């Protein structure tokens, strides 16, 4: 026979079932919350590069690519067409002034030089021969002038005597006129000979000057040939490092072709390239900053090529510290050329995120988490970027690479 369950018992049973259901729901909610918390992205603050927005001066710059090259580099060219016989030094060797680098075949050049020396001697002898010839000819003319003067003096005496005799009545007028005529003819002949002598002196002096000038010109050519022959004995022009040498023994080299390069690897400069669209922002005298890794070296633009080649303008930067330990020939660098100054602007640190003026999605620190913000950035230099809109002074912004979190709007920060 069934007994009726009391209301109190039924109430306790119902309460127990409600408590069980509530406990299950709470456990499920806790599990969901824990799972969500575990799956939510969290980042360590110390792993991020965070910049604080500040206000100050911004020295604007344009970026360019650069390459470290030796400050002093000299190309050694072959002064003659010849072939290589011996190699004395290899690339990378240290050389001093006058150190032999290689030997060319100079037999033909030396033979030609010997011929020129013989020709010089012949011209010297010809010049001496002309001097002797002129001296003899002028000496003969001087002797003839002396004879003519003596003859004129004799006729002058004869004329005086005839005039004297004519005054005494012992002579005749015809005789006096005959002697006068002979005297006048001799005087005219003497004048002519004297003019010929003066002209011959001038002509002899001019011929001598021409021959001396020809000899001087020939000797200049001979001196040039001697210098060329000396240069053909390929030697180092300065104390430096031999960075290149044509080491193909027996190879034919043409006149003017490169056979060696010596470089001073203790001092360097930067050869930069920039798009020609920025050509109006770079000029000689502009301040520049060279960045090699985290190192920064100051410098000044020394020259800019006036022409664009393949859309690129080349320029050279002279470094303030041109023997810095990080400088290596051929090393690629970032070059920042300063071109304007702006005062009292909001600034954020420059990093890899910045690619030019425009809109960016950056993460700002807010209440212990990172919140995505859309910001507008302007011009830059190698240290800072101008903030136009989207951030305030004192805001903290992540400037390290956040590309893997591109779909997230918030990230927990620890």
Q: Which residues of 255-286 are buried (b: 16+ CB within 10 A; e: fewer)?
A: eeeebbbbbbbeebbbebbbeeeebeebeeeb
4 versus 111: the higher-pLDDT residue is 111
DSSP-derived secondary structure letter, 320: S
- Please tell me the predicted confidence (pLDDT) of residue 317: 93
335-388 pLDDT, tens digit per residue, is 988 887 888 888 998 888 888 888 888 888 887 788 888 889 988 877 888 888
Does this model's pTM top 0.85? My answer is no
Residue 406 — very low, low, confident or very high, per pLDDT cuts 50/70/90?
low
Average confidence (pLDDT) over 195-205: 88
CA distance 215 to 322: 50
CA distance 351 to 382: 9
35 versus 309: the higher-pLDDT residue is 309
Residue 332 — very low, low, confident or very high, per pLDDT cuts 50/70/90?
very high
Token pair for residue 231? 């240069």
- Please tell me the predicted confidence (pLDDT) of residue 300: 92
Average confidence (pLDDT) over 97-115: 85
SS3 of 339, please? strand
CA distance 69 to 199: 67
CA distance 273 to 335: 9
Please list, in sequence order, all residues whose beta carbon lies within 8 angstroms of the beta carbon of residue 313, skipping any fewer than 6 positions away.
273, 274, 275, 276, 278, 279, 282, 304, 305, 307
Q: Look at 31-40, 59-68, 172-181, 207-216 and tell me which has the smallest mean pLDDT.
A: 31-40
Residue 38 — very low, low, confident or very high, per pLDDT cuts 50/70/90?
very low
52-96 pLDDT, tens digit per residue, is 888 888 888 888 889 999 888 888 888 888 888 888 888 888 888
| Residues facing 268 on adjacent strands | 70
Q: Judge contact between 370 and 364, C-beta under 8 A.
A: yes
CA distance 90 to 94: 9
SS3 of 156, please? helix
216, HSE (Cβ side, Cα atoms, 13 Å):
6
Q: Judge contact between 99 and 249, C-beta under 8 A.
A: no
CA distance 122 to 172: 65
Q: DSSP string covering 244-259, please?
A: EE---TT-EE-TT-EE
| Angle, CA of 8, 10 and 16, to the nearest 5° | 105
CA distance 237 to 100: 10
Please list, in sequence order, all residues whose beta carbon lies within 8 angstroms of the beta carbon of residue 387, skipping any fewer than 6 positions away.
53, 345, 346, 347, 348, 375, 376, 377, 378
23-32 pLDDT, tens digit per residue, is 666 666 665 4
Average confidence (pLDDT) over 385-411: 81
276-291 pLDDT, tens digit per residue, is 888 888 889 888 999 8
- Please tell me the predicted confidence (pLDDT) of residue 370: 82
CA distance 128 to 35: 115
- Please tell me the predicted confidence (pLDDT) of residue 194: 86
| Residues facing 273 on adjacent strands | 65, 314
- Please tell me the predicted confidence (pLDDT) of residue 62: 83
CA distance 274 to 279: 8
- Please tell me the predicted confidence (pLDDT) of residue 5: 57
Mean confidence (pLDDT) of the chain: 82
**The pLDDT of residue 185 is above 90:** no
160 versus 22: the higher-pLDDT residue is 160
State the DSSP H helix or E strand holding residue 155, giving kind and residue range, or none if neither.
helix 107-168
**The pLDDT of residue 122 is above 80:** yes
Strands (E), 169-275: 240-245, 252-253, 258-275
Q: Judge contact between 234 and 104, C-beta under 8 A.
A: yes
279, HSE (Cβ side, Cα atoms, 13 Å):
13
Average confidence (pLDDT) over 114-138: 89
Q: Judge contact between 362 and 408, C-beta under 8 A.
A: no
| Angle, CA of 271, 272 and 275, to the nearest 5° | 150
According to DSSP, the β-strands at 312-319 and 82-87 are unpaired
CA distance 57 to 340: 11
| Angle, CA of 233, 238 and 244, to the nearest 5° | 70
Average confidence (pLDDT) over 98-113: 84
């Amino acid at each position: 026979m069934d007994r009726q369950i009391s209301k109190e018992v039924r109430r306790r049973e119902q309460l127990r079932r409600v408590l069980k259901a509530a406990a299950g729901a709470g456990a499920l909610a806790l599990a969901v919350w824990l799972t969500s918390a575990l799956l939510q992205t969290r980042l360590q603050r110390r792993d991020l590069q965070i910049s604080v927005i500040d206000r100050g001066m911004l020295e604007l710059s344009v970026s360019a690519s650069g390459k470290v090259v030796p400050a002093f580099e000299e190309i050694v060219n072959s002064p003659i067409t010849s072939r290589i016989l011996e190699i004395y030094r290899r690339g990378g060797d240290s050389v001093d002034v006058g150190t032999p680098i290689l030997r060319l075949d100079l037999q033909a050049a030396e033979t030609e030089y010997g011929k020129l020396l013989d020709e010089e001697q012949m011209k010297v002898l010809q010049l001496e021969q002309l001097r002797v010839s002129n001296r003899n000819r002028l000496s003969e003319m001087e002797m003839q002038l002396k004879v003519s003067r003596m003859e004129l003096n004799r006729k002058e005496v004869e004329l005086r005597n005839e005039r004297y005799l004519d005054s005494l009545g012992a002579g005749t007028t015809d005789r006096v006129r005959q002697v006068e005529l002979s005297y006048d003819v001799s005087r005219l002949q003497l004048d002519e000979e004297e003019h010929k002598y003066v002209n011959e002196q001038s002509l002899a002096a001019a011929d001598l000057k021409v021959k001396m000038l020809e000899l001087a010109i020939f000797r200049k050519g001979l001196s040039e040939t001697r210098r060329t022959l000396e240069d053909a004995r390929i030697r180092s022009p300065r104390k430096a490092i031999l960075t290149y040498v044509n080491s193909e023994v027996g190879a034919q080299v043409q006149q003017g072709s490169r056979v060696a390069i010596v470089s001073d690897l203790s001092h360097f400069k930067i050869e930069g390239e920039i798009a020609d669209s920025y050509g109006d922002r770079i000029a000689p005298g502009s301040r520049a900053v060279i960045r090699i890794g985290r190192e920064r070296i100051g410098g000044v633009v020394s020259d800019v090529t006036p022409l664009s080649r393949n859309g690129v303008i080349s320029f050279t930067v002279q470094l303030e510290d041109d023997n810095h330990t990080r400088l290596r020939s051929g090393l690629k660098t970032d070059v920042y050329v300063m071109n304007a100054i702006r005062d009292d602007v909001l600034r954020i640190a420059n990093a890899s995120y910045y690619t030019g003026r425009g809109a960016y999605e950056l993460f700002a620190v807010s209440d212990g988490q990172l919140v995505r913000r859309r910001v507008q950035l302007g011009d830059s230099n190698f240290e800072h970027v101008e903030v136009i809109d989207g951030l305030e002074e004192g805001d903290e912004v992540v400037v390290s690479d956040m590309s893997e979190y591109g779909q997230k709007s918030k990230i927990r920060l620890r």
